[in-house]
Amino acid sequence: MPFALPRRRFLSLAAVAAGMGVAGAPRASAQPDGWQAIADDVRRETQWAWQSYVDRAFGRDQIKPVSGGGEDFFAQGRSVGLTIVEALDTLWLMELDAEVEQGVDWVKNNLSFDIDAPFQVFETNIRLVGGLLSGYHCTGEPRLLELAVDLTDRLMPAFTSSPSGVPYRYVNLRTGAVSRPDTNLAELGTYITEFGTLSELTGDRRYYDAAKRALQVTFDRRSPLGLVPYSWLAPTGTWLNTTATVGPPADSYYEYLWDGWSLFGDGDLKVWYETLVSAILARQSEVVDGRLWFAQVDALTGLKLSREQSELAAYFAGLLAEGGDIQNGRRYHDSWNAVQDRYGVLPEAIDYSNMSVVRKGNLLRPEFADAALNLWLATGDDLYRHRAQRHYELMKATSKVQYGYTILNDVTTNPVVRGDSCPGYWWSEQLKYYWLMFGQARRFNYDDHYLSTEGNLLKGAVRQ
Ligand code: IFL
C-alpha cells in the first residue's frame, strides 16, 4: 500500500500569511554579502577537522581530538562510523565532494548493523537513521537508503514489543531483544520525521504509524493542565513522575510534533503541538529580570519545581519561531544571549533565578546556533547571524585543539578546562547551521527544507 499523507509545503510561509506575527518580515536569503569570509572559515575548519578524523580515527564513532585517538559511542568495541554518517550531508552542503565520496565509500564497504549489542533506540534513530537518510537525500546513493531501512527494521521491536506502543529505550540490533522499559519523552517521541521519511520512500506505513502511536499515547495522557511529565514506562504507557520540562529529557518530543506536521501535513500533530505549547506558555513560562525562561513544573498542580535551565532548552526559541510565535522565540533567544554575553561559551545548565552556573561544562552544544538559524530563517534579522558568529568564534577560541574540536569540562575558568571528545552531532549540527547562515549554500533550498533535531537534512537538498 503506498504511503499517502498529504504533504504540505512552504508551511512557515503559510503561517506567516496566516498572520502569526511576522507578516512583512524580510525573508532570509543567501545573497552574496560580507558574511562570505566567515563562511569560508567554517568550511576550512570543517575540512581540517575531517582530515584529522580520517588520519587518526577513520571508522571509529568519534575522534578524541586532544589525544588523537578514537572512541565508540553506542557499544564498546563496536564503532559504526558515527562521525562519517553524521557528517555526510554537512560535507555535501559545503561542496566538499572528495570528503563526501570518502565517507560514502567507507559506509558502502564497512557498515553493517548485524551487531549483537543493545543500541539506544533514540540515539540510533536521530544520528544513524537520520544521517543515512540525509546522506541519501543529498547524494542519491542507494546503499545509504538500504542501510537506513535495515537499521530501522532492527529498531522496530522496541515499538512492537511494547503493548502500549511506547518504545523501549534499547534494542539488541541482532536479536531484537528489548531492554530499559523506563523511558522519557525525548526517547519515546523523536522518530516521526525519520520514520515518516522512510515510510514515504518505501511505501511502508509501519514506520510512520509506530512513531505516531507513541506520540498519541503520551499526548492523550497529558495532565488536566495540558502538561506532559517527562518520565514514562514503556509497556504500560504511563507516567513515572509528574515533572514537566521543555528541556531534556523531553525537548525533541515537542520539536517532532511540529516537525511531523511541517513535513507530512498531519493535522493531528499540529493540534497536539499547539495544545501542549499553549499549556507550556501558560504554566511554565516565567519572566525574571525581564528575561523569558521556562520552569520545570508539576504537571498536576502547576507548582514550579526548579528554575534550573539546561542549555539544551535553547532549541525552544527556534521551535517557537517555527511554530509562528516569533515574539516569544525572540525573547527566549535574548535570554540565552544574555548568558552568552555573561559567560562566553554557554554552560550546560544555569539557574535562571540568579543566572548562576549549575553545570560548568559544554559538550560542544549546538542548540544556541540551531535556534539562531531558525530565527534568522523566520525573520531575516541579521541579529541572529551576529549571535551565531559570536558562538562560532567562542567555540573556535576555546574548543579547537590539535586534532579537531573538543568538549569543555569547565567554561567558567580562564583558560577553560578541556575534555577529549568530539560528539557526532557537532558534525551534523552547528557546522551546518553556521554554513547555512553565513554562506551562500547553493545546495540548500532556503524556502523549502527540513532539518531534523540532529540537523539532518531530510528535505531541501538542491542537486544539480
Ligand atoms: O543529539 C543532539 C540533538 O540535538 C538532540 N539532543 C541533544 C544533542 C545535542 O546537544 O536532539
Give pLDDT, residue 464: 81
pLDDT at 25: 37
CA of 367 to the centre of ligand 1 (A): 8
- Each residue's pLDDT tens digit in the chain (464 positions)? 335 544 433 333 233 222 232 323 334 544 556 899 999 999 999 999 999 999 999 999 999 999 999 999 999 999 999 999 999 999 999 999 999 999 999 999 999 999 999 999 999 999 999 999 999 999 999 999 999 999 999 999 999 999 999 999 999 999 999 999 999 999 999 999 999 999 999 999 999 999 999 999 999 999 999 999 999 999 999 999 999 999 999 999 999 999 999 999 999 999 999 999 999 999 999 999 999 999 999 999 999 999 999 999 999 999 999 999 999 999 999 999 999 999 999 999 999 999 999 999 999 999 999 999 999 999 999 999 999 999 999 999 999 999 999 999 999 999 999 999 999 999 999 999 999 999 989 999 999 999 999 999 999 999 98
Residues 6+ apart with CB under 8 A from 461: 89, 92, 93, 137, 138, 443, 444, 445
Ligand 1 neighbours by CB, cut-off 6 Å: 126, 252, 312, 365-366, 425, 429, 453-454
Task: Tally DSSP H helices, then E strands, for the chain.
Answer: 19, 22
Name the residue among 211, 219, 198, 124 with its Cα closest to residue 165: 211
Distance CA(406)–CA(423), nearest Å, equals 8
83, 60 in Cβ contact below 8 A? yes
Three cell numbers at 112?
Answer: 553493517
Give residue 401's pLDDT. Answer: 98
Measure 454 CA to ligand 1 centroid, in angstroms.
6
Q: What is the C-alpha separation between 107 and 85, in angstroms, rounded? A: 8
**Ligand 1 center from residue 451 Cα (angstroms):** 13
| Cα torsion through 321, 327, 331, 337, rounded to 10 | 50
* pLDDT for 408: 98
Res 4: pLDDT? 56
Please choose from 128, 311, 365, 367 the residue to mutate so as to test ligand 1's pocket, defined by most ligand atoms within 8 A of CB. 367
Angstrom distance (rounded) from CA 415 to CA 237: 47
Query: Is residue 68 within 8 Å of 418, Cβ to Cβ?
Result: no
Ligand 1 atom nearest residue 251's Cα: 11
- Using the 8-state DSSP alphabet, how is residue 420 labeled? S
Q: What's the CA-to-centroid distance between 453 and ligand 1, angstroms?
A: 7
Q: Where are the beta strands (DSSP E) in 393-449?
A: 400-401, 404-405, 408-410, 417-418
Residue 163, all three cell numbers:
503493548
Q: Is 221 helix (H, G, I), strand (E, B) or coil?
A: coil
Task: Write down the pLDDT at residue 26.
Answer: 39
Distance 310 CA to ligand 1 centre (A): 12
Residue 355 three-state SS: coil
Give, using CA atoms, the residue closest to atom 10 of ligand 1.
365
C-alpha 1 – ligand 1 centre gap (Å)? 34
Enumerate residues 6+ apart whose C-beta is below 8 A from 33: none
* Residue 408 DSSP SS3: strand
Please state the atom number of ligand 1 nearest to the C-alpha of residue 363: 10
pLDDT of residue 8: 37
- Distance separating the N- and C-terminal Cα atoms of the chain: 31
Name the closest-CA residue to atom 9, ligand 1.
365
Alpha-carbon Rg for the chain, nearest whole angstrom, is 21
